[in-house]
A and B are shown apart, each in its own frame.
Chain A
Amino acid sequence: MATFWNRLSRLIGLSSPEEDEALERALRLDFRRRCALFRQLVNSNNRALEVMSDMEEMLRGGKPFGLPQVRGMCAQATANVFKMIRCLEGMTDGRYNALYDRLRAVQQEIGRHVEGGRDPVPGPLVLGLDAIGAADAGEVGPKMANLGELGRIGLDVPSGFVITASGFRRFFEHASLSAEIEGIIRDRQVDRLDARYALSSTIQELIVAAPLPDDLVQAIEAQCQALAETYGDEVRLAVRSSALGEDLPDASFAGQYRTELGVRLDQVTRSYKEVVASKYGVAAMTYRWNRGIPDEGMAVCVGCLPMVDASSGGVVYTRDPVHPSDRRLVIHAVPGLPTAVVDGNVQADRYLVSRDEPMRIEESHVPRKQTMAQLDAMEGVVHVPLQDSEAEAPALAPQVIIDLAEKTLAVERHFGQPQDVEWVVDRQGTLIFLQARPMTGHMPVVPEPQDDPGLPLLLEGGEPASPGAACGPVFVVRKNADAFSFPEGAVLVAAQALPRWAPLLPRASAVVAETGSAAGHLANVAREFDVPAVFGLENAVSVLDGNQMITVDGTHGRIFSGCAEELLASQAGKGPDFMLGSPVMNTLTSVARHIVPLTLLDPESPDFRPDFCRTLHDITRFCHEKSVGELFAADSGPVRKRLAKQLRYNGRPLKYWLIDLGNGFTNPPQDRYIDFENIASRPLHVLWEGMTAQEWGGPPVLDVKGFASIINQAASNRDIEPAMASSFEVKNYFMITDTFLSLQSRFGFHFCTLEALIGDVTDENYASFRFKGGAADLDRRILRAELVADLLEEHGFRTELRQDALLARAEALPRVELEEKLRILGFVMIHTKQLDMVMKNRDMAIVYEQRLRRDLASMIAKSRQ
């Protein structure tokens, strides 16, 4: 089939005026079609580049994001690049259709990183604890694998079983939970805490209501039956999580998942679902979000262990987490079950034990303990008040402390790194280990705050729970709803050091609580996020409430009134950047390699071909270059010869070409020039008024350099940035109608777009302006973009900034108002040209900004007269 151009070529050579006119009409029609495609292509190009800028920003770290977000960005970039190829296909009769294959190849590379992750081969749905060792972490989670390992090295551990990662996947697959949950999460804004609260309950309800598959229920029941035969029907279980990925370096996951205590055998399946659902608890979701840990792939394995009737219990750290240089072991102990220590709702004994043989107790801190947690045959776990004598007594006898320290040190030796170990002593005096995990990584190294900051001391004697010093206004949290109003940078003050406050830690400057210890979950998370914390500080709420500003010294357990600058000055600057090195960041880094880099630099190289496009950026570059060539290149024949008319102003030809898309000229031009007086496009007239309102004080303006150089004059220097090279002669084309104006102007990779529609229908009116790039280095280009954005915002434009890329829009305004906006754009385009080059000097930049602001105001005032 003959193409449009074939048909046109048959027309060329005809010379009668009617035929000539017919040819011009046909050319104009086809040009309009190509313009429309070009415009779509540019829009898609902009969107794809925006995604790339966002990715670059995310790659610098500092801001949390999730895997669904990465996946969404990849998909958007892919769709936009596809659209560009489709537009280019329409503009060039399919000349570059090989690009589709390149896109497919790049997409497969991206998909491999971000959409891969096929589930591993299914294993057993449940496993007995006696069959488990450290090597089984992939199936039972690191916590249960370590526990099995402790049994293997001869320590006492509970018996019991684990519902495995395969069991978890079987459950989710059976109830189609994965897709449903991902959909729910994707629909909401997970980056907001209040949204997370709503999300959390929706998802947890969904999980608890979902049916378990029969084979999983049967496997669990068989294990329960075996426990009943050993311990009797009345045995109570602890049902606790052991999630995959909990062994990630530097991520403690302390207290993120639910543990159900005192569970009867007939309640195990229900408790299992509750623990699994806690994967989507607010604390856990917030934690993963802030640490860049993806939701998916994180199977929750669940251990079901007969509970020990404990006389005492607690936590041992084989290194002091608050003073890591101290080599002593730190033991936290309470009478009864250890849950009180990790939940942070009571005070605990603290013993410091020397590491070297013979081990000895070097310090004992024995506070008064109000209650203890106990297993009750009917009620499960209950908190009972302690008699005076019990409340004051140490929770452990000295020989038990030494025995515990020796065995825990053996655990450290076995695993080869400092350990965080949970234990109980049963009524028969047997020491039983419940959990061991490495504590490497959540031991922050911060400088010691100085002794006397010279401020009024408000409280002291608290237990240092997370080292360092910070100041901020006091904010007392009493109920969950307080979390919504918690201000960034405040000091979180609570009656109890409960894990439920953990989601606020990334926003808190410090934490203070009346109960709790360094061994609790909240302390763990505080140390992880480098937030100083002091726990076990009696009367903290009543003393601190109402204080404007306090300084928390987490190293020494003290609180000062006011902000102790000296104390803070000794602190390391910002907290750790958790995104760097996180699993989600690693995924982004892998996919970005196929999206962001530009390797196709030189359009004049023989390698500037579809099959040399290696990244999505390469494809966008190729499409943009070829589409510009198609419309505007010097050799684009009929367009240039027939349609584009050079602008003549006061009899002098300027380097602007105008293409009439309909009613743009008052009289048809007789030669290759169009005189300014013959332009009927209202938007162009108005823009021109802004452009010519005032001489530019700097380098020459409105000279023969052309309109594109207004934005980016120095870009023609190819030595500055290779990506700027372009094979096309730079021309500045306005496409106009009586009510419409479009300017596409580019230098190599950089370009600017201005569009305006000013008609009688207010709702349809708009002006948009977009530019990116410049000749200076990135910092200066960003400064210039910020300055332009500021100026335009001051005049009612909506702006979006991404590094040096600026988009400004004004829309749905009556004609007169929009005309003023267009005048402002004309002015700003002229008077900010080359401004990036002077941005090296901030003082100079301020002078320019003030001058621009003043001149712009006076231009507006004049035009209103």
Chain B
Amino acid sequence: MVKPISVLLVDDEVDLLDFLSKRLARRGFLVQTANNGRQALAAISASKPDVVILDMLMPGGMDGLATLGEIRRLFPHLEVVLLTAHASTEAALRGMELGAYDYMVKPVAIGELVLKIEEASGARGPMTSGTRTGNRYDA
């Protein structure tokens, strides 16, 4: 039995969270949700998900990029995919520079999101297992 990939979805839009988590659960993912950056950090500490899908625009002082910065600082090996309704090349670049695995624009096709999660978790194909950049292996 293959261990399911666990995903943490972080978005302040409850409807979207509900929609995405149902779809992902149906595809066999283990899904958790959080409504803001603080909740996300707590959820990561508690359950160590494989991948985080993080909305960029969230209220409450800690937006997606700030949350991303914290995740990278506290959990450097955790892959984070940014999801945004407000696409901009500037934000895309800043997010990637901060260490996001990828950057996706809403509305996102569920198939595309699934592929991305699998890719980020290293699940697709034996060549990808656990590898992201050279840094981890050069140590």
Contact surface of A with B, Cβ cutoff 8 Å: 1, 3-4, 30, 32-33, 35-37, 39-40, 43, 68, 71-72, 74-76, 78-79, 82-83, 86-87, 89-91, 93, 103-104, 107, 110-111, 114-115, 179, 182-183, 186-189, 661-662, 735, 737, 739-740, 742, 755, 757, 761, 763-764, 766
Contacts and interface: CB of A to CB of B under 8 A. Distances in A.
Contacts of B96: 79, 82-83, 86
B16 A89 contact: no
Given A33-B131, A86-B133, A187-B107, A740 B85 contact: no
Contact of A103 (B86, B93, B106): B93
B46 interface: no
A182 B127 contact: no
Interface string B103-139: 1111100000000000100011111110111110110
Contacts of A78: 89, 92-93
A104 B126 CA distance: 33
Contacts of A74: 87, 89
User: Could you tell me the dominant secondary structure of chain B's interface residues?
Assistant: mixed
A33 B92 contact: no
B87 A68 contact: yes
B70 interface: no
B126 A757 contact: yes
A115 B90 CA distance: 9
Contact of A182 (B85, B125, B132): B85
A-B complex: 10 closest residue pairs judged by Cβ atoms: A90-B134, A79-B103, A36-B131, A186-B85, A75-B87, A72-B87, A72-B105, A75-B92, A82-B96, A90-B133
A74 B93 CA distance: 11
A93 B134 contact: yes
B102 A740 contact: no
* Residue of A36, A189, A757, A764 with most partner-chain B CB within 10 A: A36
16 contacts: A39-B125, A71-B87, A74-B89, A75-B88, A79-B92, A79-B102, A86-B133, A90-B132, A93-B138, A107-B93, A111-B89, A186-B105, A187-B16, A189-B107, A757-B125, A764-B2
A120 B87 CA distance: 22
Interface string B29-58: 000000000000000000000000000010
B125 A115 contact: no
A740 B2 CA distance: 17
B91 interface: yes
Contact of B127 (A3, A36, A188): A36
User: Could you tell me the dominant secondary structure of chain A's interface residues?
Assistant: helix
Contacts of A36: 127-129, 131
A715 to B, nearest CB: 26
Contacts of B105: 72, 75-76, 186
A107 B125 contact: no
A14 to B, nearest CB: 22
B91 A75 contact: yes
A89 B133 contact: yes
* Residue of A32, A33, A111, A182 with most partner-chain B CB within 10 A: A33
A33 B87 contact: no
Q: How big is the B interface, by class? A: 35 or more
B89 to A, nearest CB: 4
Given A75-B87, A76-B105, A740-B125, A82 B134 contact: no
Nearest to A93: B134
Interface string B1-45: 010000000000000100000000000100000000000000000
Nearest to A739: B126
Nearest to A757: B125
Contacts of B135: 90
Contact of B126 (A3, A40, A93, A662): A662
Contact of B89 (A87, A115, A179): A115
A743 to B, nearest CB: 12
Given A76-B105, A90-B133, A188-B107, A661 B127 contact: yes
A755 B125 contact: yes
A93 B85 CA distance: 35
A115 B92 CA distance: 12
Contact of B88 (A35, A103, A111, A763): A111
B85 A763 contact: no
Interface in B56-97: 57, 84-93, 95-97
A32 B107 CA distance: 34
Contacts of A662: 126
A83 B107 contact: no
Given A72-B87, A75-B105, 15 more contacts: A36-B128, A36-B129, A71-B87, A74-B87, A75-B88, A76-B105, A93-B134, A107-B90, A110-B89, A186-B106, A737-B126, A740-B125, A740-B126, A742-B127, A761-B2
Nearest to A616: B89
Contacts of A82: 92-93, 96-97
A35 B127 contact: yes
A40 B85 contact: no
Given A71-B87, A74-B87, A89 B93 contact: no
Contacts of B127: 32, 35-36, 39, 661, 735, 740, 742
A764 B125 CA distance: 9
B116 to A, nearest CB: 10
Nearest to B134: A90
Nearest to B129: A36
A110 to B, nearest CB: 5
Contacts of A189: 107
A68 B124 CA distance: 31
Nearest to A74: B89
A4 B92 contact: no
B101 to A, nearest CB: 8
B93 A104 contact: yes
A186 B86 contact: yes
Contacts of B126: 661-662, 737, 739-740, 757
Nearest to A5: B138
* Residue of A72, A83, A86, A763 with most partner-chain B CB within 10 A: A72
A76 B103 contact: yes
Nearest to A184: B85
Contacts of B125: 39, 740, 742, 755, 757
B90 to A, nearest CB: 5
A528 B133 CA distance: 54
Given A79-B103, A83-B102, A187 B129 contact: no
A172 B78 CA distance: 38
A40 B87 contact: no
A43 B103 CA distance: 14
B48 to A, nearest CB: 22
Contacts of B90: 107, 111, 115
Nearest to B139: A1
Contacts of B95: 79
Contacts of B57: 179, 183
A4 B139 CA distance: 9
Contacts of A110: 89
B94 to A, nearest CB: 10
B2 A91 contact: no
B3 to A, nearest CB: 12
A662 B126 CA distance: 9
A38 to B, nearest CB: 9
B122 to A, nearest CB: 8
B21 to A, nearest CB: 16
Given A76-B92, A76-B103, A107-B90, A33 B137 contact: yes
Contacts of A182: 85-86
A37 B89 contact: no
A55 to B, nearest CB: 14
Nearest to B130: A36
Nearest to A2: B138
A103 B92 CA distance: 12
A181 to B, nearest CB: 11
A212 to B, nearest CB: 22
A802 to B, nearest CB: 15
* Residue of A74, A86, A737, A740 with most partner-chain B CB within 10 A: A86
A186 B125 CA distance: 33
